[in-house]
Structure 1
């Protein structure tokens, strides 16, 4: 009798654990699906490539180039990593959104890298303008990044990344990148 009670308890415990939803299943995305929207842009550019005019400023030196082929996933990696629909972010942001714009701001007591995500929407609720602020600090370095992306008719037209990185005991490095997608 005791053995069957133990078996019953073990089987019931296993069933309860097996039926318990994972963290990902319990925390549903609550933020604007920014990563999905940008991934769709990347997929579209992979199918229908567009040239880009890039201007890069690093340590006071300016470089300009026009590229016909681009790895957009790599180019926009910082924008993609600003996705807030992760379980760790579910309760970490204040939603300041109103009609026409989406705005999430990191709560004062939180320490995630994305400090602000602001998306101005067009009449069809597609992004028209995106601003993202990212800060990371640890014992060795401190980085600040401001990301901007402008859209027309639901498609990326321009993007920029401005930032600085400072390693402990060294002067900061400032950089900026601006990209303009060129019409065919």
Structure 2
């Protein structure tokens, strides 16, 4: 009798669960992560050349390479992904026109992505611009980044053509350090 009760309880618990693969969540916001990951793969496959200029404070540096690590180069744009279940109700959505998506953080929310704008190409339906403002702050550290990714058609393929990152970092006991990175992809 004891085994019968245990078996019945076990089967009842199993019946309440859906063993089928969970359905994927429908994206509420534009899929920035999917686009950027696709571009990382494309740029690595094409072995695209990267020309990058960096300025931190008063120091600056430039370099050109054809062996860029695209996962590292474009990782900051993955941080602009707001398509997460926990963020579902955190952003105000605006559509100034049929090709533009704008997302602004709701008042009272405290998430790193404060603003995201995606502008699509009229004929291709692919992102021409992805622009975001990222803010990280706590008692010891504050950082703000304005990021912009530009894409277009290159040799019959839609790909990232350039990106820009501007912002600052500030530690509690140090001065604000502005930085800027501009990159062009060939």
* TM-score clears 0.5: yes
2:101 aligned partner? 102
Distance 2:19 2:88 in 1: 19
Q: How far does residue 150 in structure 1 lie from its aligned partner after superposition?
A: 1.1
Quote the RMSD (CA, aligned, Å): 2.2
Moved over 3 A (4+): 1-11, 24-27
1:162 alignment partner in structure 2: 166
Write the distance in 2 (CA, Å) between the matches of 1:42 and 1:117: 20
For 2:138, the equivalent position in structure 1 comes to: 138
Structure 1 residue 36 displacement after superposition = 0.9
Provide the residue aligned with 1:15 in structure 2.
15
Report the CA distance between 1:114 and its aligned residue: 0.6
Distance 1:173 1:143 in 2: 9
Following superposition, the deviation at residue 21 of structure 1 comes to 9.1
Cα shift at 1:148: 0.5
Give the paired residue count. Answer: 180
TM, length-normalised to structure 2: 0.86
Aligned-residue offset at 1:15: 3.0
Find the partner of 2:31 among 27, 30, 33: 33
- SS of 1:65 mapped into structure 2: strand
Specify the alignment match of 1:175 in structure 2: 179
Separation in 2, partners of 1:70, 1:179: 12
Q: TM-score, normalised by structure 1?
A: 0.87
Cα distance in 2 for partners of 1:64, 1:105 equals 34
Structure 1, unpaired ranges of 5+: none
User: For 2:38, what is the secondary structure of its paired residue?
Assistant: helix
CA–CA distance in 2 between the matches of 1:2 and 1:107? 55
